[in-house]
Structures are given as C-alpha cells and as structure tokens.
Amino acid sequence: MSDLSLHIEQHGAVRMVRLNRPQALNAFTAAMLGQLRQALEAAADDVHTRCVLLTGAGRAFSAGQDLADPHVAPSREPGVAPKDIGHMLEQFYVPLALRLRDMPIPVVAAVNGVAAGAGANLALSCDLVLAGESASFIQAFSKIGLIPDCGGTWLLPRLVGRAKALELALLGDKVQATEAERIGLIARVVPDAELLDNALAAAQRLAGMPTQALVATRRALDAAMRLDYE
C-alpha cells in the first residue's frame, strides 16, 4: 500500500513504513510528516499490528527537513517576513516525536544511508535502531543556525552522555554507523545487504513477545533517567 510519500507493507504482525521520496533523499515536507504521523496512528490502532519497522527508500533514510518545502522556504517577494520555523516544529515535529516515544507497540528503525538532522533524530526516537555499514548520522542543525529538533536535545545526552552529545550537536560532524554503535547511539550495525532482513527479523521477534511488557519496559527505562533508585 502506498500513501504518497510513504510506502506501507504488512509483514504478518509487522507494519513496515518506508519513507518514499528517494529523489529528495526522503527529506521531510509538512505533508509527509502528517502522513507519517497518520501511519503511526493507524498502526497503533490496528490490533493485528504488534511492531512497526521504519526505513527509507533508495540511498538514504532521511536527509531531514526539505528546506524547499513551502512551510519553511523563504519567500522571494521583497518585504515578506521569513517563515516561522517554530510553528512548523510545533505543528508537525513535536506531535510526531511524541507519538513515536509513546507508541503502544515497539518501533524498529532500519537506517540505510544518511540520516541527517530531523531524519537522524526520528530514527533515534525508535526503540531499536539498526544501521547498514554505509549509514551515517549527522546533527546538521548548528551549521544552519538551528538547535536539534525532533527530540534531539532530549535523546542525545541520554544515549551518549552530555559531553558527546554536545560534540555531536555543536560540531555537526558525520558519525559513521560503526562509530554510532561504539558510542551507544544505535544498537547494531549489519552489512548493507542484510539490513532489511535483520531489521525485519528483529521486528518479527518483538511482535511475538508480550507487547505490554515491552512498552512498560521502555517507559520504565525512560522514567529511570529522572528518578532516584528508590
């Protein structure tokens, strides 16, 4: 099943959602973000779906926000005020990030190629992140005068610690998949040709486990970051 900028397939109890703008490295538009949130809602509401697998079409997972999208692209008309990027974040990215972190079923990311900006943080918001050998992660915000969005400022210090999070966010350097695994940014690196098979196998394994226990485990681990031992 295709939904414009997404391609959706059902593999037993696993709903595969593929970002499908390969000509633009799966860069996000407002319409695409809305479709993705709707796809997650549909998966959450489907009693036969017990895990979501998120990946990208072509040679990238996602290059992040499409700066040519009318919701953020500056007007060429003289005297027209610049677009309010904060409004774009509140309307599209915040609800999407919150939906991902609170899905009633596990979400697996299979990162193929580059995951930059919001594309990187969308992947890192998933419960289990697998990446192909050629994949890379880039916090590409500081170079264009922004701070990490799509949950990035919350995720990074929890995944890699404050010092490394600052390095990634301030310098915006590319992190290859093997380095991402080494520093704890992602769970596992696999050969590119085996990425989808490995990710689907992991998703199917999760789909066969007690869903409520898996979700409760995620919530407990997230809560543990702000609680004391008692």
- Domain harbouring 84, CATH code: 3.90.226.10
Q: Considering the domain boundaries, does residue 117 fall inside one?
A: yes
pTM, two decimal places? 0.91
Residue 230 lies in a domain: no
Asked if the structure places residue 16 within a domain, the reply is yes
Mean pLDDT over the full length of the chain: 92
Question: Binning pLDDT at 50, 70 and 90, where does residue 91 land?
Answer: confident
**Helices 30-45 & 94-101, crossing angle to 10 degrees?**
30
Owning domain of residue 169: 2-224
Q: Is residue 229 part of a domain?
A: no
**Residue 62: inside a domain:** yes
| pLDDT tens, position by position, 3-58 | 589 999 999 999 999 999 999 999 999 999 999 999 999 999 999 999 999 999 99
> Can you give the pLDDT at residue 72?
65
Measured CA to CA, the distance from residue 100 to residue 136 in angstroms comes to 21
Alpha-helical regions (H) of the chain: 30-45, 85-88, 94-101, 118-124, 152-160, 162-171, 177-182, 195-207, 211-224
Query: Mean pLDDT throughout 189-208?
Result: 99
pLDDT of 74 reads: 55
Do 179 and 171 touch, CB atoms closer than 8 A? no
The number of folded domains in the chain is 1
User: How far from chain centre, in Å, is Cα 61?
Assistant: 9
Q: Which two tokens stand for residue 149?
A: 């969005």
